[in-house]
Each structure stands twice: as C-alpha cells, then as structure tokens.
C-alpha cells in the first residue's frame, strides 16, 4: 500500500497516529448518544459508517485522500466498543456480565487472528488493477456494512422489548434489572447522572488504565506487519504471521478465573 500510494518518510506512521485523535475525541459523545438513543440504532449506524469508510480506502490514490478517510473512520469506530459493553448491561446481571464481555473482546481477538488469514489469501490474488490491500478493504468493509444493516433490524433496544423473548420472559428481564442494577428500568436519559461517576475516586484510576493499556495493544496491532515485513518475509507470509491465535484461550481462561475468585 505504501508503494502504491507513494508514501514517503513517516506518512504511514502519521496515518496510524492521526486516526486516534478523532477516535479519542468522539468516544464520549458517541457513547452518550448510545445511552440516549439505544444501541439498536447507534451501534449499527457506527458499523455501517466505518464499513463504508473501509470501502472508500480501497479507492484512495494518495496520502491526503487516505488521511481524510482514516480520520472519519476513527470517528465512526470511537464509540463502538464501550457502546457494545453498555448495550450488554441492558441484558445481563453483574454476575453474568464479565463472561459476556470476555466473549465479546475474545471475538475481537478472533477477528484479528482471522484477519491475518484473510490477508494471506487476499494477497495471493494477482490482479494488476486491484491490489491485495484494496481487496482486503473491499471484503472487510462490505462485510461490516452488511452486518450493520442486519444488526439494525435484528437487535432489540433492550431485554424488555426483545422480539425473541416471550412476555413472561420480558417481565423476568425487568425484575432482574431492578434487582441487580443501579438504575430504573427504562430510566430517562440524564446528562447529570451520566457524569456522576466522575466524582468517584476510582474514575481517574480507570482513566490511567484506559490510557496506558492501548499503547502496547495498538502498537502491536498496527506495526506488527511492518516489523515482520522488515525481517525479510514477503507480503503473503507477513500477513499469515500476524494472526494472533495465542491470545484467544488465555483471555477467556483468565476472565473465568477472575470471576470465580471474585465470587468466593
């Protein structure tokens, strides 16, 4: 991609760095929108948005065009992970939530692993007009848009309106939320309540964790293909070696162990 788009100097690193600026700035506003309008509407909208931006990346011809698309892509991706976790809290109790969040983030690691396999296959395509990296953006972007559209029609707003539950099960879901949660069922959106946690002494600690953890994670995810490529491997082998299968099982095992220790 760097050769096809004529990147020079540190332009590739700039694409990665500047992506996280709108990603960080838009995180809070998008999560407030998720709470206000429900994950059923906001999360599929974000999926369609970043899938469309991924598709457009395949049509970029230079650094400027790719940078503009990457900035918009960062904004769309900003609120998804935290919004998805909030969405899960509408269906599961605190005792059940840890394992579901582990499955959710484990699926992200699984996607990362299979992304390397997809790249391995895609970069074997010999097309003089559509290069391997273009096919990768087209395939992943199109799938994201499709799943986003399906999610809009399939996801319920909450457990009380879930189309796949009976009326009795919906009533049980309401009782579970009242018994386990710190909010009322179908509670009205309030900016004041949204920011109440900022007064908690644990809030700055979580901010530090959230700031430092992605440094190592994002660095590995973004620069691992570049590092492996500079070791002398070709593009096909490089993409195969970026699959991160080793993280899947330890992640879920550690979560299960921590949940059992907390329950003791």
Model pLDDT, residue 84: 92
**CA distances, 156 to each of 88, 93, 117, 162, 188 (Å):** 11, 17, 33, 5, 18
* 126 phi, psi to nearest 5 deg: -100, 100
Model pLDDT, residue 264: 55
Axis-axis angle for helices 39-57, 80-89 (nearest 10) = 160
Model pLDDT, residue 215: 73
Instruction: State pLDDT tens for residues 30-58.
Output: 998 998 888 999 999 999 999 999 999 99
What does the pLDDT profile of the chain (264 residues) look like in tens digits?
778 788 888 888 888 889 989 998 999 899 989 988 889 999 999 999 999 999 999 999 999 999 999 999 999 999 898 899 999 988 888 888 888 888 887 777 777 667 767 777 777 777 778 888 888 899 989 999 999 999 999 999 888 888 888 899 888 888 887 787 655 555 666 667 777 778 888 888 988 887 787 777 777 777 777 777 778 777 667 666 666 555 555 555 555 566 555 555
d(Cα 17, Cα 6) in Å, to the nearest integer?
Answer: 18
* 60 phi, psi to nearest 5 deg: -70, 145
Q: Indicate the pTM of the whole model.
A: 0.79
d(Cα 262, Cα 264) in Å, to the nearest integer?
Answer: 6
DSSP one-letter code for 128: S
Model pLDDT, residue 48: 97
d(Cα 124, Cα 154) in Å, to the nearest integer?
Answer: 35
d(Cα 245, Cα 228) in Å, to the nearest integer?
Answer: 16
Model pLDDT, residue 257: 61
- CATH number of this structure's domain 2-155+195-263, picked from the four choices 1.25.40, 1.20.1250, 2.60.40, 1.10.357: 1.20.1250
Model pLDDT, residue 229: 74
Q: Where are the domains of the chain?
A: 2-155+195-263
DSSP one-letter code for 190: -
Per-residue tokens: 66: 């790719």
Lookup result for tokens 């998804």? 80
Instruction: State pLDDT tens for residues 127-140.
Output: 778 888 888 899 98
The rounded Cα 246 to chain-centroid distance in angstroms is 19
Model pLDDT, residue 199: 82
46 contacts 79 by C-beta, under 8 angstroms = yes
Model pLDDT, residue 42: 95
Q: Which of 3, 7, 12 is nearest to 70 (CA)?
A: 12
């Amino acid at each position: 991609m760097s050769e096809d788009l004529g990147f020079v100097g540190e332009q590739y690193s700039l694409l990665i760095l500047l992506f996280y600026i709108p990603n960080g700035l838009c995180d809070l506003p998008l999560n407030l929108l998720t709470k206000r309008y429900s994950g059923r509407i906001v999360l599929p909208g974000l999926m369609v948005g970043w899938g469309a931006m991924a598709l457009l990346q395949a049509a970029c011809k230079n650094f400027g065009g790719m940078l503009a698309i990457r900035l918009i892509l960062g904004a769309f991706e900003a609120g998804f992970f935290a919004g998805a976790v909030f969405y899960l809290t509408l269906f599961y109790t605190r005792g059940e939530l840890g394992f579901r969040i582990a499955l959710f983030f484990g699926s992200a690691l699984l996607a990362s692993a299979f992304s390397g396999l997809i790249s391995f296959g895609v970069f074997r395509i010999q097309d003089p007009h559509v290069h391997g990296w273009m096919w990768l953006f087209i395939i992943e972007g199109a799938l994201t848009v499709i799943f986003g559209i399906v999610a809009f029609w399939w996801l319920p707003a909450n457990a009380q309106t879930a189309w796949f539950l009976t009326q009795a099960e919906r009533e049980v879901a309401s009782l579970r939320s009242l018994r386990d949660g710190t909010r009322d069922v179908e509670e009205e959106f309030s900016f004041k309540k949204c920011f109440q946690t900022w007064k908690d002494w644990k809030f700055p600690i979580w901010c530090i964790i959230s700031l430092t953890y992605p440094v190592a994670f994002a660095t590995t995810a973004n620069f691992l293909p570049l590092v492996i490529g500079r070791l002398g491997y070709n593009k096909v082998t490089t993409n195969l070696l970026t699959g991160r299968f080793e993280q899947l099982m330890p992640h879920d095992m550690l979560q299960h162990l921590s949940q059992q220790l907390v329950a003791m």
